[in-house]
């Protein structure tokens, strides 16, 4: 379909309008273009007229950096000159990292030096790896001297890392210490040993009892692991690995049911069994038992073969009334039948000790029976009061070296025998003790005999009348009794033979 033709007048009119609009558009574009050029030119002119702060600042930073770098190096080197442990410097620079290593000059006083140097190299390499990239740093490796006391000196690898902080315009410092300290006995110039610290195997065996109890205390259910703990192989001076600290010691443990591989004992818990020359004095301050007053008379009351439900409660009443603490050497077979009575003995401040399970003469039976007699009683007493007995009185006083090693507890004998087991007479018991008692001795009685209980109040009164202070046996012995030794009094200690 053909389009209708527009009138000629209409087409002419449109051309005229277009002719008039075009010059206006050109003018507008020109104005915008000129404006844009002027703006850009102004910005550029302003920019090139401003100073260059980055270049000036960089020069300033370099100058400050060099100044503080020189001060830091001077400080480091001066500090090393002032240290008691003299050393020589080895310097190495790799890019922006400068390493200063200070090795001790006197090497014969540090037998572990090769190990120390190896650890120092490892620490330095770790410090380098941990640095941010392209960071100016100073790594200073040296051996730090630690003086515990006159007899023990420790040496510890140390790495100080200084990194430049451009924002703070100063050095930041970080120190990393080696995991191990090499301790040296200043008498022998050799690495510290367990013998230095504990002196004797007997003292270490006393510590063994402490760590057994600690394992049980830290176990969620001591009764479930007590067999394994009691049967754990003993530690020894030569065969036990350890980590020494000025205030405590960590001992490697044999395989045991608790799963623990080591145990840490503060010296204050074992102060009576260590050599004070080799520990920090503050670690055992007020922990070592004070000696008994030499101007006083002391004596100890001990009771064997109980507990007995008929006689022991009455005895406890008398001791409570007289304010006397005693030591009870109990038979395991009686403990299992009278647990509440055992608890009462412990709760009232008396010592609970072992007298075997069924009262055999231990020197006349085989080793397994000795072991069973000791361990069954340990278990029975632990089940009753949560503590393993630390002291042992062998039935009839019969003991030898082999038996003592199995018992692994201090052997508490006696020096005054009341002979209550023979007389069964209160007056005879009172007279016997009166005639034979003397200073620093241990009296033997039995809480299973009614006549003994009848005599106790008078015995206490007579002893006090003669000036005696009555103590439980452990306290009489200064809390220092140890396995493989037997004691008849505070001044009569003998090695079991």
Q: Name the residues annotated as catalytic.
A: 304, 446
Which one-letter DSSP state was computed for residue 413?
-
Q: Same domain for 312 and 380? A: yes
User: What residue has token string 């301050």?
Assistant: 285
Q: Is the pLDDT of residue 55 over 80?
A: no
The residues facing 88 across adjacent strands are: 103
Which pLDDT score, from 0 to 100, does residue 30 have? 52
Q: Name which of 493, 495, 490 is nearest 438 in CA terms.
A: 490
Name the domain boundary from 219, 254, 284.
Answer: 284
Where does residue 396 fall: left (phi above 0), alpha (psi -120 to 50 degrees), or beta otherwise? left
What is the per-residue pLDDT across 123-142, written as a single tens digit (0 to 9) for each? 999 999 999 888 999 999 99
Q: Tell whether 448 is covered by a domain.
A: yes
What's the pLDDT band for 299 if we cut at 50, 70, 90? very high
Q: Note whether 147 and 234 are same-domain residues.
A: no
Residue 117: count other Cβ atoms within 10 Å of its Cβ. 18
Question: Which residues face 301 on adjacent strands?
Answer: 443
CATH number at residue 250: 3.90.640
Domain endpoint, select from 242, 263, 284? 284
Query: What is the per-residue burial (b if ≥16 Cβ within 10 Å, else e) of 326-361?
Result: bbbbbbbebbbebeebbebbbeeebbbbbbbbebbe
Surface-to-core class of residue 152, CB atoms within 10 Å of its CB (0-12 exposed, 13-18 middle, 19+ buried): buried
pTM: 0.81
Residue 149 has pLDDT above 50, yes or no: yes
Residue-range definition of the domain harbouring residue 209: 194-284
> Quick one: 234 and 269 in the same domain?
yes
Q: Are residues 147 and 204 in the same domain?
A: no
Confidence of residue 19 (pLDDT cuts 50, 70, 90): very low
pLDDT of residue 107: 76
My answer on whether 376 and 304 are in the same domain is: yes
Is residue 40 included in any domain, yes or no? Answer: no
Shared domain check, 463 and 315: yes
Q: Domain boundary residue among 284, 319, 344?
A: 284
CA dist., res. 225 & res. 203, Å (int): 25
DSSP 392: B
- What is the SS3 assignment for 109? coil
Find the CATH number of the domain harbouring 322. 3.20.20.370
Please write the tens of the pLDDT for every residue from 221-280: 999 999 999 999 999 999 999 999 999 999 999 999 999 999 999 999 999 999 999 999
Q: What is the domain count for the chain? A: 3
Helix (H) or strand (E) holding 136: none
Residue 474 in tokens? 């452990």
Q: How confident is the model at residue 494 (pLDDT cuts 50, 70, 90)?
A: very high
Please tell me whether residues 261 and 391 are part of one structural domain: no
Regarding whether 303 and 449 lie in a shared domain, the answer is: yes
144 and 215 housed in the same domain:
no
Question: Do 468 and 354 share a domain, yes or no?
Answer: yes
In this structure, are 315 and 264 located in the same domain? no
Task: Please check whether residues 439 and 399 belong to one and the same domain.
Answer: yes
- Of residues 82 and 59, more confidence is placed in 82
Collapsed DSSP state (helix, strand, coil) of residue 442: strand
């Amino acid at each position: 379909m053909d389009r209708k033709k527009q009138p000629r007048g209409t087409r002419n009119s449109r051309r005229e309008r277009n002719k008039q609009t075009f010059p206006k558009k050109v003018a507008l574009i020109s104005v915008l273009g000129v404006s844009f050029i002027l703006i850009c030119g102004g910005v550029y002119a302003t920019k090139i007229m401003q100073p260059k702060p980055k270049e000036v600042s960089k020069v300033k930073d370099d100058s400050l950096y060099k100044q503080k770098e020189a001060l830091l190096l001077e400080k480091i080197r001066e500090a090393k000159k002032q240290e008691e442990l003299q050393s020589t410097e080895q310097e190495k620079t790799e890019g922006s990292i400068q390493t200063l290593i200070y090795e001790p000059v006197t090497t014969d006083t540090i037998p572990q030096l090769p190990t120390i140097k190896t650890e120092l190299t490892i620490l330095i390499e770790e410090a380098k790896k941990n640095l941010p990239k392209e960071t100016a740093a100073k790594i200073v490796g040296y051996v730090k001297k630690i003086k515990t006391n006159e007899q023990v000196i420790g040496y510890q690898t140390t790495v100080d890392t200084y990194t430049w902080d451009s924002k703070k315009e100063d050095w930041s410092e970080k120190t990393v210490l080696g995991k191990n300290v090499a301790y040296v006995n200043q008498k022998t110039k050799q690495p510290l040993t367990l013998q230095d610290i504990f002196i004797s195997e007997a003292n270490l065996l006393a510590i063994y009892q402490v760590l057994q109890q600690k394992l049980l205390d830290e176990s969620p259910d001591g009764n479930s692991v007590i067999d394994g703990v009691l049967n754990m192989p003993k530690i020894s001076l030569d065969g036990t690995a350890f980590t020494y600290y000025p205030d405590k010691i960590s001992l490697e443990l044999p395989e045991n049911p608790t799963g623990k591989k080591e145990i840490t004992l503060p010296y204050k818990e074992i102060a009576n069994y260590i050599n004070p020359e080799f520990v920090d004095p503050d670690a055992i301050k007020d922990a070592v038992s004070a000696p008994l007053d030499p101007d006083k008379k002391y004596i100890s009351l001990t009771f064997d073969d109980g507990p007995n439900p008929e006689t022991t409660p009455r005895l406890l009443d008398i001791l409570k009334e007289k304010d006397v603490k005693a030591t009870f050497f109990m038979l395991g077979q009686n403990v299992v039948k009278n647990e509440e009575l055992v608890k009462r003995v412990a709760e009232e401040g008396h010592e609970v000790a072992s007298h075997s399970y069924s009262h055999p003469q231990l020197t006349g039976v085989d080793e397994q029976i000795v072991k069973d007699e000791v361990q069954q009683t340990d278990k029975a007493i632990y089940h009753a009061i949560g503590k393993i007995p630390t002291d042992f009185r062998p039935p009839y006083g019969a003991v030898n070296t082999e038996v003592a090693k199995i018992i692994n507890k201090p052997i508490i004998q006696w020096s005054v025998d009341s002979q209550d087991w023979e007389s069964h007479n209160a007056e005879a018991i009172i007279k016997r003790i009166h005639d034979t008692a003397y200073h620093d001795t241990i009296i033997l009685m039995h809480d299973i005999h009614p006549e003994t209980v009848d005599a106790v109040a008078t015995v206490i009164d007579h002893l006090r009348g003669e000036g005696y202070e009555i103590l439980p046996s452990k306290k009489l012995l200064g809390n220092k009794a140890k396995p493989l030794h037997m004691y008849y009094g505070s001044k009569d200690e003998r090695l079991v033979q």
